[in-house]
């Protein structure tokens, strides 16, 4: 589990993580928000449906793929939270929108 250092951010936004509203500091990446919220795993693998979570946080492992605002295969470590954003775990390959 993670926790936040005691500094109060100037601005907060509300996002929805797996259906639950969560208040997080503005400017934070989605990966940081979900790790701090204690979500645990952030996706399951396409090959064996095994749970995974962010690993490198710098855009080289592609382990943090999530469904953000309905779009699958988004790098949670690169996307920044926004008011009203919906964040969901990605199961397997993720449905492609048409």
Q: Which residues in this chain contact another protein in the complex, by CB under 8 A? A: 1-5, 7, 25, 27-29, 32, 35-36, 40-42, 45, 47-48, 50-63, 65, 73, 78, 80, 96
The least distance separating another protein from the CB of residue 91, rounded to whole angstroms, comes to 14
Residue 27 or 84 having the CB closest to another protein: 27
Give 29's DSSP letter. Answer: B
Alpha-carbon Rg of the chain, whole angstroms?
13
Residue 45 or 86 having the CB closest to another protein: 45
CA-to-CA distance for 84 and 64, rounded, in angstroms?
20
Residue 25 or 86 having the CB closest to another protein: 25
Helix (H, G, I), strand (E, B) or coil at 6: coil
In this structure, the chain runs to a length of: 98
């Amino acid at each position: 589990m993670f926790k936040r250092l005691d500094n109060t951010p100037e601005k907060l936004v509300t996002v929805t993580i797996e259906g639950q509203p969560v208040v997080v500091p503005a400017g934070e990446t989605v990966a940081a928000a979900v790790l701090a919220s204690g979500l645990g795993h952030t996706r399951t693998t396409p090959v064996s449906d095994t749970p995974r979570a962010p690993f490198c946080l710098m855009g080289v492992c592609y382990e943090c793929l999530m469904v953000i605002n309905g779009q699958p295969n988004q790098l949670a470590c690169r996307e920044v939270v926004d008011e009203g954003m919906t964040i969901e775990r990605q199961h397997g390959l993720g449905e492609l929108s048409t």
